[in-house]
Structure 1
Amino acid sequence: MKFKAMLLGLALMPVLSVLAQVPVYLNADKPIEERVKDALSRMTLEEKVKMLHAQSKFSSAGVARLGIPEIWATDGPHGIRPEVLWDEWNQAGWTNDSCIAYPALTCLAATWNPEMSHLYGKSVGEEARYRKKDILLGPGVNIYRTPLNGRNFEYMGEDPYLSATMVVPYIKGVQENGVAACVKHYALNNQETNRHTTNVYLSDRSLYEIYLPAFQAAVQEGGAWAIMGSYNLYQGEHACHNKRLLKDILRDEWNFDGVVVSDWGGVHSTEQAVYNGLDLEFGTWTDGLSNGTRNAYDNYFLAFPYLKLIKEGKIETKELDEKVSNILRLIFRTSMASHKPFGSLGSPDHGKVSRKIAEEGIVLLQNNNNILPIDLNKTKKIAVVGENAIKMMTVGGGSSSLKVKYEISPLDGLRNRVGDKAEVVYARGYVGDSSSELNGVTTGQNLKDDRSEDELLAEALQMAENADYVIFFGGLNKSEGQDCEGSDRISLGLPYAQDRVIRELAQINKNLIFVNISGNAVAMPWVNEVPAIVQGWFLGSEAGTALASVLIGDINPSGKLPFTFPVKLDDVGAHKLGEYPGNKKELVTKHQGDTINETYHEGIFVGYRWADKEKIKPLFPFGHGLSYTTFTYSKPAADKKTMTADDTISFTVNIKNTGTYEGQEIVQLYISDKKSSLPRPLKELKAFQKVKLAPGEEKSVTLTIDKKALSFFDDARHEWVAEPGKFEAMIGSSSRNIKGTIVFELK
């Protein structure tokens, strides 16, 4: 027996010897920092530099010699982008890369439900994992400063607290799948007009109170593994290599240990990229042999130009090792992590998730005479009007454009739900953009229509005249100049002469419902003529199903606006004070072209903060959203009258469903500083909770805050300050519908 054991031991010795020699970086059970250090020590100078830049449109190199894989990124944040050719934006021609489209992030923010945010992130992360992606380029959390920003639909609204609260669970959901969330666009990317040349100036107070909190929460609470820089400049330096943003704040103040990724084409200087905090460069010269005879990627700012400076002794390798360490850390968290889930793509479960989020984010803006929900027992004919009832919205809009497994239009969703209970007829009403292709993805729709505006209107009016209900699906689309990357909107008004059609329909039929398909606020000069208005967003694959379920009453709407709807542009601080979209300034360098300086003169007064300050009545206020049921609020109570700096205070209110539908109400807590050494908003959102109630049911809601909720950022001291004195807690159902107030004191 001993002899056999000895023989077995001798036989195992070579195996054990080999196992003992396995590099630390390949051992997934070892701490990540040990793996990073070990892998870094084994790499050549050339291998390190090669990891810092793209090798294709969406990938960067690994180190094949060491078994370190490439990094593969994919656009989001609303679904997984189809595969493109190595060097081009056009399709690779795969037949198995169709995804589920999830609602745009404005819709997610409108749910005011962190559970929905986690479910969203988890589901889209599963699709990214299945497609073997390491980085999901999203979510976006730039602040809604102007309703003209063409990319607002990809972000989470105007309020820093709401955005910060909603982005954290999304990130955690994505990263549970071993996929890095890459939060974008850091920072101050609040318009698309002149996005490469706009040079932003603003006070530190505005930066820290309004534009940074969601990014900070993404890093410190969400644990984001990647951050994407933005195209614009800040204080004269491009954001993708901006020392103040990337080193002083992101690394030194927030202790970010992930990877800073450039936006595609956002890098302009080797030395600035080296010293100012960029790790991974994408999108610079990817059209083949654009510079000399070498592979274009070798000419990136962080490629041969960087290597040459090192070899000439002009730059040391300290920054190089830091960048490669950050990239290795990302790889060990993603593709080389142990116990990665497999993920899934285009599954029925993901379709259900998309629908659930869409249903919960739809906002009922107006419901005069309670004409919604539609009672099918008393309905024989529903007239549907508008191009947006049939136009696919998953193709277009820029980098968030998708190739979807399916998309249910509002018209089809309504017809599927109504069935044979009523006749559903359709008229075009207006013709907008008949294009149906982006980067080789086609909708398969032919929306060309040569009829005149008068002919289209006449058809719609004739059809609507004897209908029980008329539903106008209008708003914006994802074409250039609307809700689309690369350009801002031309005006606040609806395009394609929709206002005329809506007004004419309102005169013909008193049961008119306007469904606004958009990611932005629009002007509604006919608001008093249209009894029911629904904010329908861009809802993804299940758009039509979700809209039908709300319109018919299968689902009671519970969304609330994540941004203010102004009556006119002059009601917005960025427009009232006159610098949007910026003032042309001097040439910065011959490579960067003209820089457009823009100062945020409105400061901290963005969105409802501005409307409150200027005593402006909005079209629809921040936090607004109606229900098919009614809720009553009790008088709120506090657990104490005074609090100290290291203490908390809780406010409690009872909410009762006094209607006949089960519904959800979002209880919002705003704080007002009654006396401050610096100007402060009239009120600021500091807590909220979504509560579900059956008819007749009553629940107690408690919202707790600490000193942070009472603080402002002091530029002079460069710190958050909570001044002793009296504060007021305002509890309400929107920023303009306050149900009760409580005065308390900070000692």
Structure 2
Amino acid sequence: MVSSKSVSMSSSLRRLLAPAVATGLLVAGLSVTSGTPASAAPPPAQVRQGPAQADEPWLDREQPAARRARALLSRMTLAQKVATIDQNSGTGVPALDVPPIRSIDGCCGVTGTVPTTAMPAGIALASTFGPAQARSYGRAIGEEAYKTGFNSIAGPTMDLLKTPFNGRMWESFGEDPLLNGALATAQVNGEESNDVWAIPKHYNLNNQETRRGHVNAQVGERALNEVYTRPWEMMVQHAKPGAVMCSFNRVNGRYACSNARLMRNTLKGRLGLDGYITSDFDAGHGFGDYAAGLDVSGPTETWAGAALVEAVRNGVVPRSRVNDAAFRVLYTMIESGVYDNPPPGATTVPAPPQPTIDQATLDEHDGLAARIGAAGAVLLKNQGQALPLAADDLDSLAVIGADADYYIAGGGAGAVANPANLTTIVDGITARASGVDVSYSAGVDSPGLGDTMPGPAPVPSGSLAPDTGSGDGLRGQYWTNPTFAGAPFATRVDTQVNIRTGIGSDFSSTSRVSGIGSPLNLAPMSARWTGTITAPADGTYRLSLSHLGTARLYVDGELLIDDPGSTYGTQDTAVEMTAGEARDVRIEYVADVANQFNGGLNDQAGPMIRFGWTMPDDALAPRMERAVAAAEDADVAVVVVRDYTSEGSDRGTLTLPQDQDRLVRAVAAANPRTVVVLATSGPVLMPWLADVPAAVQVWYGGQAQGRTVASTLFGDVNPSGKLPVTFPATEAQVDRIGARNPFRHLNIVNPTDRYEEGVFVGYKGYDKAGLRPLFPFGHGLSYTQFRYGNLQLRSTGRGQRAAVVATFRVRNVGSRAGTEIAQVYTGKLPRVTSPRRSLAGFARVQLEPGAATTVRVRLDRRALQSWKPRRDAWVTARGGRSISVGTSSRDISLTKRVRVR
């Protein structure tokens, strides 16, 4: 089953890439290597039969989509046009066979109610630097969306990463505009090859989750266009998405979904979007949004449905604007193939239960998830060739880490909560290490949304006991009022006092840690925790409360901390404790700060409290002691560290949660053959890096993460992933480059984030500030070695037609087959304040030992240009500049100069 769009796009892509097909390499960031074989297209479900009648010209499939859409629109009443642009909750127009819009979140897999394939997170896909991989990734998501009855997919997530604290960075493609745009283009093309349409998100500058519904991104025109809009330009022009989703935030004072300059002038005008613009979930702000360019508002029908019909009749919204919006939706439905071949149940109202996906498709996509996960694994460090491991040389192996035996994923709308075929890291290593005694120890408690808050690590569950009830932890009592009045609304044993509410805790969570949920997360509440705390060793412990709202700590009946918590912060107190001695503890908390509950889950801080401690340096909690003992008895220790992040909640710190730094140090001290596997949403601090011989970044690896990790550690796959985001050495470095933590906006109702760094985002900011990050953008090691040589540059054309092609040789000088990602960077532009180095092209090169190949990369044209605000246009910077080739933004092998005319 092939839609009209998939035919036209594939042919145009072939024309675009024709000069490079023979080399099997890459042009301007678009891969032409042979990727994963295309998934079989789903069988026809409800194909419309019969020839078009003269009075039904919209059924004539030989006609262009625009002509068919205009004919269909001409037969509609106002009410039918408004029904056509109903966001995800309408009836469509049954009389004309127009289905309702039915979208599903799908940045990293379909988030349906039936089992679907949980793909590696977007940041893992970005680490492949592989458009071919991204297209296969998108094709699988599109096929599963179709088979589960959806006609559109909210994804990919194109939020370019301004700050590493972003709680949603796991969904995205990193900090570089070219990489972001190339992979988004490929994913959208893959999705839309299945008779569905994509809805890339979130346009534009959705770069923080804290107060995302009201934050004002104050950005200059040059940075807006060169950095943040550039990926959208690539994606719109080379993938032709059916729709684009506008974001919650404001841009230079106007909400993105009410911003005519962003939507009408830029996205539909200069970039040429033919499809429609839809709001994020209730991100509209009035009927004026339609004049600004918004086409679909909702899902709450404050400015849609019957209210919109009335607004048109009263002259509040121009009828021409509704006509255009309905035309754009109809055009998308026809061009995507949805109108002629709708998904199962697509025209049934109300929507029927989602069909299950056949096992053959799930099995195929599970294999794809494993291959992409392996391609995105980044070997950060490999001292003394500690990796790969050889099962034949091992008798025992200890796997250590919270959730190494569990599904490691992020939270929020993009989270696939029901993976079809989960392989945990413990499962994967155990299966691969046949004949090896594999043990597992958690070492620490599982992280939850509370761990995104800064402050000392929470007191571990093994050191707490409730005064009533069973298990580790404290007895928690919750009231739906701020005065502890009446009987508690709920009572339970909480393993830790570590509470933060939000989308990734209460609604779309993949964490083992339970949130407190509604109504406690929506209005002022109070809570009390009681029980005992027991120290694992003699010494001075600093007990702490990190919180927003009034909090009190009692130990043995004595009040030690009493703070109103008018802003989020930490108070601590020194307590002498004796090993094994239980001390009574009581914590009282009231969420009573102004603006703590305002704006719903998009904006409110909500309840936030953590009971933490700082232990003596040589102390280990009981669970950690058991993990260290297991490491001492094993030939190799694999420590899996993770965070938990989510839509709606930025990270307050880059420190690993749950005292995992202490865990790694203790295990490394016990076993010199310690390998650290980082299953994180993005950069974290690594104060233990010098203590371990090897570290591998595997991100949130989806349902096949266990096999990804095992195949990488044991050398079945030679790691080839490269970092799509810079890893800072300290949080102070992040401040230095202007990417300050948005968590600081927690108490501000209408914050402003000033983009003072301009175009110097990510690695470009580190270069400008002269800072040495922990790992640079593009970094990634291999089990083999590659050598570069013979760089040749050719400049053609003049002015806006100027182009540069770089040709160079890459040789595998090691003993293993491997894939190298060659990166091409431009230097500073002449007569323009510009970054020291900017990614301009890249290529995935697969070579056998001793083999060499010539690589040809046509530089992205925007890398030769800058945005001129006075001319409101891109302008080629004429003159000389350096072109560099290397394995990262800081590891450059070849450099030459070229003159652009």
Could you say which residue in structure 1 is the equivalent of 2:687?
Answer: 525
Say yes or no: does 1:73 pair with 2:88.
Answer: no
The answer on 1:627 being equivalent to 2:782 is yes
For normalisation by structure 1, the TM-score amounts to 0.87
Could you tell me which residue of structure 2 aligns to residue 192 of structure 1? 209
Q: Which residue of 1 aligns with 2:334?
A: 332
Provide, for residues 449-491 of structure 1, a one-character-per-residue CA deviation record: whole Å limited to 9, x for no partner.
x9976101210111111321110001212xxxxx200110110
Task: Write the letter of the residue equivalent to 2:296.
Answer: L
Q: 2:71 aligns with which of 26, 38, 46?
A: 38
Structure 1 CA distance, aligned partners of 2:682 and 2:746? 27
Provide the residue aligned with 1:130 in structure 2.
Answer: 147
Q: Please give the alpha-carbon distance, in whole angstroms, between the structure 1 residues aligned to 2:212 and 2:262.
A: 17
Give the superposition deviation at 1:401.
3.4
Q: CA RMSD in A?
A: 2.7
Q: 1:136 to 1:574 in 2, by over 3 A?
A: farther
Residue number among 141, 144, 164 corresponding to 2:161 in the alignment? 144
Residue identity matched to 2:859 = I
Change (3 A) 1:264 1:550: same
Distance 1:486 1:540 in 2: 21
Instruction: Classify 1:217/1:577 alpha carbon distance in 2 versus 1 (closer, same or farther; 3 Å).
Output: closer
- The 3-state SS of whatever aligns with 1:685 is strand
Distance 1:18 1:123 in 2: 32
- Structure 1 residue 717 displacement after superposition: 2.1
Label 1:468 to 1:397 Cα distance change in 2 as closer, same or farther (>3 A).
farther
Identify which of 441, 447, 467 aligns with 1:427. Answer: 441
Q: How many residues align?
A: 685
Using the size of structure 2 for normalisation, the TM-score is 0.72
Query: Is contact 1:403–1:441 with CA below 8 Å preserved after alignment?
Result: no
Q: Is the 8 A contact 2:210 2:743 kept in 1?
A: yes
State the alpha-carbon separation in 2 of the partners of residues 315 and 536 from structure 1: 49
Check whether the contact 2:412–2:509 (CA below 8 A) recurs between aligned residues.
no
CA distance in 2, matches of 1:511, 1:717: 59
The CA deviation string for residues 238-275 of structure 1, in whole angstroms up to 9 with x for no partner, is 112211111010111112110111111211212x2221
Q: Tell me: CA distance 1:220–1:494, structure 2 relative to 1, closer, same or farther (3 Å).
A: same
Shift of 1:218: 1.3
Q: For residue 397 of structure 1, report the CA deviation from its aligned partner.
A: 3.8
Q: Does 1:28 align with 2:28?
A: no
Q: Deviations over 1:678-733 (max 9, x none)?
A: 31100100011010011111111122236532111122222212222210001101
CA contact (8 A) 2:226 2:867 kept: yes
The aligned amino acid for 2:94 is A
Equivalent residue number for residue 298 of structure 2: 282
Structure 1 residues 578 and 463, CA gap change in structure 2 (3 angstroms)? closer
Instruction: Pick which of 714-723 and 695-704 moved more.
Output: 714-723
Query: Which amino acid is the alignment partner of residue 464 of structure 1?
Result: A
Shift of 1:77: 1.2
Measure the CA separation in 2 of the matches of 1:244 and 1:742.
Answer: 40
Question: Residues 38 and 398 of structure 1: is their aligned pair in 2 closer, same or farther, counting only changes over 3 Å?
Answer: closer
CA distance in 1 between counterparts of 2:260 and 2:400 reads: 52
Q: CA deviation at 1:210?
A: 0.6
Contact 1:266 1:283 in 2 (8 A): no
Contact 1:382 1:469 in 2 (8 A): yes
CA offset digits 1:33-57 (Å, max 9, x no partner): 2221121111111222233333xxx
Q: 1:447 to 1:545 in 2, by over 3 A?
A: farther
User: Within 1, Cα distance between the matches of 2:94 and 2:279?
Assistant: 24
- Per-residue deviation, 1:413: 0.5
**Equivalent pair of 1:518/1:537 in contact (CA under 8 Å):** yes
- Which residue is equivalent to 1:499? 661
Q: Which moved more, 1:483-492 or 1:31-40?
A: 31-40
What letter is aligned with 2:709? L
Q: Relative to structure 1, is the Cα distance of residues 584 and 625 closer, same or farther in structure 2, using a 3 angstrom cutoff?
A: closer
Distance 1:447-1:505 versus aligned 2 partners, 3 A rule: farther
Q: Distance in 2 between matches of 1:561 and 1:714?
A: 31
Cα distance change of structure 1 residues 643 and 248 upon mapping to structure 2, 3 Å threshold: closer
Q: Is the 8 A contact 1:145 1:574 kept in 2?
A: no
Partner of 1:230 in structure 2? 247
**CA positional deviation for 1:304:** 3.0
Q: Offset at 1:26?
A: 2.8
Distance, in Å, in 2 between the alignment partners of 1:341 and 1:62 is 14
CA contact (8 A) 2:442 2:623 kept: yes
Percent of aligned positions with the same letter in both sequences? 31
Find 1:544's aligned residue among 685, 706, 714: 706
Q: 1:393 to 1:585 in 2, by over 3 A?
A: closer
- After superposition, where does 1:256-655 map in structure 2 within 5 Å? 256-270=273-287, 272-284=288-300, 297=301, 300-334=302-336, 336-338=338-340, 346-394=361-409, 396-420=411-435, 422-433=436-447, 454-477=621-644, 483-572=645-734, 576=738, 580=742, 594-639=749-794, 646-655=801-810
Whether the 8 Å contact between 1:59 and 1:73 is mirrored in structure 2 is: no
Alpha-carbon deviation of 1:132?
A: 2.2
Aligned residue identity for 1:329: Y
**1:48-69 Cα shifts (integer Å, max 9, x gaps):** 2233333xxx443311222222
- Residue 175 of structure 2 aligns to a residue in which SS? coil
Residue of structure 1 equivalent to 2:859: 705
Residues 362 and 423 of structure 1: is their aligned pair in 2 closer, same or farther, counting only changes over 3 Å? same
Cα deviation, residue 585, structure 1? 11
Give 1:467's aligned amino acid: A
Distance 1:129 1:577 in 2: 39
Matches of 1:19 and 1:202, distance apart in 2: 51
Question: Once the 2 structures are TM-superposed, how far is the Cα of residue 574 of structure 1 from its aligned partner?
Answer: 7.5
Aligned to 1:717: 871
What displacement does 1:518 show?
1.2
- Cα shift at 1:340: 7.4
- Tell me the distance in 2 between the aligned counterparts of 1:581 and 1:423: 44
Measured in 2, the distance between the counterparts of 1:675 and 1:19 equals 59
User: Can you give the 5+ residue segments of structure 1 that lack an aligned partner in the other structure?
Assistant: 1-16, 84-96, 285-296, 478-482, 587-593
Structure 2: distance between partners of 1:163 and 1:576: 21
- Given the superposition, is the C-alpha separation of residues 745 and 306 from structure 1 closer, same or farther in structure 2, using an over 3 Å criterion? same
Structure 2 vs 1, CA of residues 228 and 156 (structure 1 numbering), >3 Å: closer, same or farther? same
**Distance 1:166-1:443 versus aligned 2 partners, 3 A rule:** closer
SS of 1:547's equivalent in the other structure is helix
- Output one character per residue of 1:347-388: Cα deviation in whole Å (capped at 9) or x when no partner: 211111111100100000000111000011211111111013
Tell me the secondary structure at the aligned position of residue 621 of structure 2.
helix
Instruction: Decide whether aligned partners of structure 1 residues 581 and 277 sit closer, same or farther in structure 2, where only a CA change above 3 A counts.
Output: farther
Seen in structure 2, the aligned counterparts of structure 1 residues 279 and 445 have a Cα distance that, compared at 3 Å, is: same
Q: Give per-residue Cα distances to partners, 1:117-148, cap 9 Å, x unaligned.
A: 11111111111111121110000111111111
Give SS of 1:313's match.
coil
Separation in structure 1 between the aligned mates of residue 333 and residue 299 of structure 2, nearest angstrom? 20
Contact (CA 8 Å) 1:574, 1:580: kept in 2 or not?
no
Number of the residue aligned with 1:8 = none
**Counterpart AA for 2:73:** L
Q: What letter is aligned with 1:60?
A: G
Cα displacement string for residues 372-413 of structure 1 (whole angstroms, at most 9, x for unaligned residues) = 000112111111110131121257344433312121100111
Task: Say which SS state the counterpart of residue 692 (structure 2) adopts.
Answer: coil
Range moving further from structure 2, 29-38 or 242-251:
29-38
Cα drift, residue 675 of structure 1: 3.3
Contact 1:69 1:335 in 2 (8 A): no
Residue 560 of structure 1 aligns to a residue whose secondary structure is: coil
Tell me if the contact between 2:163 and 2:739 (Cα under 8 Å) persists in the aligned partners. no
Mapped partners of 2:318, 2:134: distance in 1: 43
| The 10-residue stretch of structure 1 (113-122 or 335-344) with the greater mean CA deviation from structure 2 | 335-344
Is the 2:52–2:60 contact (alpha carbons within 8 Å) kept by the matching residues of 1? no
Q: CA 1:214–1:574 in 2, change beyond 3 Å: closer, same or farther?
A: farther
